[in-house]
Amino acid sequence: MVHAGTAEYVLVVGVEKLSDFIDNADRTISFLLGDGAGAVVIGPADSAGIGPSVWGSDGSKHQAIRMSHSLLDIRDAELASVAAVGGSLDDAPKASWPTMRQDGQTVFRWAVWEMAKVAQRALDEAGVTADDLVAFVPHQANIRIIDEMVKQLKLPEHVEVARDIVDAGNTSAASIPLAMHRMLQENPALSGGLALQIGFGAGLVFGAQVVVLP
């Protein structure tokens, strides 16, 4: 929108409240998730600060991250109960609240092998190499995924890697801005350098780009 001239400044926000969708008895995902929010202002500049986006989806694995059931299932169950016994919707027994489910091994393999390729494409589209980076800020999904992606991309030792998940957990859409903010707080000298960012999640969907750190 800024590049096209339809807006001078744009506020981009990523917010998640994943605690609303956690089943504390599900050890495959519940301990990973956190609540968070992050925002950034995008505006005009003399030189590009955001590289071309590489994005897409892999619908063949749409069940790898999913909900146990939908809110529509709750409504339908309550309506069916009312129709069967009479009365009002207020008197109907309440169906269980939907919670997140994950096939961890499927997500891990896909994220490590396929997302490393997407990240490399983002570098290629931006016309830079891993040596040009000062930081790697991936979606904070899993520390093992992050560490394996670093190996797959053969990132040089000088590249700082965001691992905010160890404190903030997986905050989904908020994880990259939170991780970037913490990285710049701890390493202010990185400001103005190039960072590779990549996000991925339910769908399975993905997006990656190289940006100039604010």
- Residue type present at position 144: R
pLDDT number for residue 83: 67
In this structure, are residues 206 and 199 in contact, taking their beta carbons and an 8 Å threshold? yes
Task: For residue 107, give the nearest of 158, 61, 39, 41 by alpha carbon.
Answer: 61
pTM of the model: 0.88
CB distance 58 to 110 below 8 Å: yes
Residue keyed to tokens 């997986």: 170
Which residue, among 111, 114, 147, 152, has the nearest Cα to 130 in the 3D structure?
Answer: 152
Residue length, the chain?
Answer: 214
Q: What is the pLDDT of residue 149?
A: 95
The amino acid at 27 = R
One pLDDT digit (tens) per residue for the chain, 214 residues: 998 999 999 999 999 999 998 888 888 788 889 999 999 999 999 998 999 999 999 999 999 999 888 888 877 777 777 666 666 556 555 667 889 999 989 999 999 999 999 999 999 999 999 999 999 999 999 999 999 999 999 999 999 999 999 999 999 999 999 999 999 999 999 999 999 999 999 999 999 999 999 9
Two tokens, residue 51: 């590289």
